[in-house]
Chains A and B, each alone.
Chain A
């Protein structure tokens, strides 16, 4: 594609030099790749949804599914099979033993109470089982959590509502600050981010609990940053480049803002990486969701939100 100089001021005699990750005069034809990217995006979403379907739902933690979680730590490496054997007793419906952090030292054990049994009795029984197998004081109980089934049902509804409300709120805000097209673009991009994140949580079998939902909400609130940056520039360029086609304006705007889009997301992804690698098992899936969500959110502001603005040209809102 032919480049076209649109600078309005005279460039300085000796142009200033900066440390740059992305050359400032970059001119990639992002718009041309929109259709292939669309296919890639929705294929990933389809795979994610298929994974959720095939696994019979997300890997719900006890916040959602109800049940008991016992988090224990052994001083020496212990086999998952031994722990399972220790927990074996009649009536317990489901036992999941997960080695967290690797190395066979720390385990999260999820149990479902036996029919008609009090949930807190389940935790006591599990502790007793481990004690009789490994001996008193041979392991440390780091935490015990018990959630009744009623809580989980309310939580599902509230979580879905919160994510939808957030998305709608972002879309509406962008609509008021920019234009309906931008609002729709932002909202669709956010739904895209949430779907991909949920799909990857399923594919990597990450636990889906209360903190994971809060990560999704954070993704919704933060992904919109890049969309705002690009939309802001498209709007600015639309007034500057009245004679250009919308596609050219969008391309130019994405290129001009690419460096800041990548750096702003990059710093957020950097700290999330620190949380993911160093934050420990309690917030592992939380950090994972943020990591995926932020990354996808950056991509989606370029390849989901912007194309929608182009496709809705002349259909809704003002025309360029």
Chain B
């Protein structure tokens, strides 16, 4: 057995492997013992489903961080007993004003010792000093936002019940969500896009409260849920929340009273239990507003201190709404608001139709090319056709084993590959013809044909491969599917069209059957 036999066996083995990999795609009833179970993965444009592209409001996340830091700062100042103080937002800075100027250094020390992520900066005007996030902290927040948002969305989607959802980051500030089989994405969109920032705020009262039209200092007005008359009542609240939703450890739907429908029960962690206990103890008989994403869901009166770390949110929910609310509360708030930039929904019948049309183009185009090669180059064409069949098998085999997604443009890429793949054979065979015209023997002509054509083959395919890579960089979704097909197709073409066909000629030569050549 010479090296030719080994090379031939290698190609036979690889083709067989590709067949094994592809069988589950084309025969859904593969036997149990079949070693490969996964069919080719189809893109949303072929199987139907929804594709959502969100922009993550990264700057908003930095803003939120500064707000949170402001609250922490107030808490620490209180603990350190620096006297009366205010902490106010001014753009990206927090301005600190102290009633007792002698405690300025103490306040600065609190910042230095407790907040490594803050720097003290000069403050203009009457403020005593200002603090800002360190550049490293800002960067950390920015880079962490997308990652956190991905995690939150994944958790929400997992509990939504879609099979094989995809939630991935794209670029520096985008998140792509793909939901196979979902035709009406409204509920999914509501679930994903909801920021789910939960805040507990006291309803303002007393002389400092002001009115709904002219809220007093430190107060704000927020709309409530839509009432029976279709309007939104306005609530006058204390701006500073007594706690936020990040202390919630669990939330679930519970049956409510006979008239109100389901409610959402939540459980707090130790910190939350303490905060909630203290706040409710100090404010018995006041109204506590439960604010979700800027809307007051309900504002019950605190009857007794709540010290066991549990609470209930009442709203006019139906069961699904209550379920989704429990879901988002359990899985935490998004670190930044999301903006839906792109939404594509493909129905299953269009997907089926695309598969049918794509396959038809593939068969018609492929057969036309093969018939042409056979008629034009006869024996050489037959070998090229065989290489083409193996080529397509390998190309799809790579898709199967690599878990790449086949899209409609991807199918078009396979069709194009059949048309481009025979190029290498044409280049070689045309050269062989030239050499034969010069009077060379069959074997020498083939030898020279491969040798002389190799530069043109290599250069042209490097170019197409390069543009395929650029295309991959540029495109998203289906276009990427096309770019992958194009690039993988070039590799399998070089493998089969150049090395594969060469093995056949070498094998023929080794058995002494290459006295004459039919090209």
Contacts and interface: CB of A to CB of B under 8 A. Distances in A.
Interface of A: 7-12, 15-16, 18-19, 21, 24, 71, 73, 119-120, 140-148, 150-151, 158-159, 161-162, 165-166, 169-170, 173-174, 177, 210-211, 213-214, 217-218, 220-222, 224-225, 228-229, 232, 236, 256, 259-260, 263-264, 266-275, 277-280, 282-283, 286-287, 290
Interface in B456-494: 456, 459-460, 462-468, 470-471, 473-476, 478-479, 482-483, 486
B315 interface: no
B45 A282 contact: yes
Given A275-B415, A280-B357, A148 B341 contact: yes
Interface of B: 45, 53, 55, 189, 339-347, 349-350, 353-354, 357-358, 360-362, 364-366, 368-369, 372-373, 375-378, 408-409, 412, 415-416, 418-420, 422-423, 426-427, 430, 433-434, 436-440, 452, 455-456, 459-460, 462-468, 470-471, 473-476, 478-479, 482-483, 486, 519
A258 B443 CA distance: 25
B353 A270 contact: no
A130 to B, nearest CB: 14
Main secondary structure of the interface of B (DSSP, over half): helix
A165 B471 CA distance: 10
Contacts of B427: 229, 260, 264
A142 B423 contact: no
Given A143-B350, A162-B473, A232-B455, A286 B409 contact: yes
B360 A278 contact: yes
B463 A228 contact: yes
A143 B377 CA distance: 45
A7 B412 contact: no
Given A21-B376, A177-B459, A259-B430, A166 B466 contact: yes
Contacts of B456: 228-229, 232
Contact of B345 (A143, A169, A260): A143
Given A145-B345, A214-B479, A282-B350, 4 more contacts: A8-B438, A224-B463, A225-B463, A275-B415
Contacts of B372: 266-267, 270
A222 B438 contact: no
A276 to B, nearest CB: 9
A271 B474 contact: no
Given A213-B474, A225-B464, A218 B416 contact: yes
A16 B460 contact: no
Contact of B433 (A18, A140, A159): A18
A140 B351 CA distance: 13
B416 A267 contact: no
Contact of B409 (A21, A177, A211, A272): A211
29 contacts: A7-B438, A9-B439, A11-B439, A19-B378, A142-B350, A145-B345, A147-B343, A148-B341, A148-B342, A158-B474, A162-B470, A166-B467, A173-B463, A214-B474, A214-B483, A218-B482, A221-B466, A222-B420, A224-B460, A232-B459, A256-B434, A260-B430, A267-B373, A271-B365, A274-B362, A275-B412, A278-B364, A280-B357, A282-B350
A190 to B, nearest CB: 10
A99 to B, nearest CB: 16
A142 B463 CA distance: 37
Contacts of A236: 452
Given A142-B350, A145-B343, A282-B45, A217 B478 contact: no
Nearest to B466: A169
* Nearest 8 interchain pairs by C-beta: A221-B467, A271-B419, A274-B365, A271-B365, A142-B350, A162-B474, A280-B357, A12-B439
Nearest to A264: B423
Given A12-B439, A177-B459, A271-B365, A280 B354 contact: yes
B422 A286 contact: no
Contacts of A158: 474
Contacts of B437: 11-12, 15-16, 24
A174 B334 CA distance: 50
A270 B460 contact: no
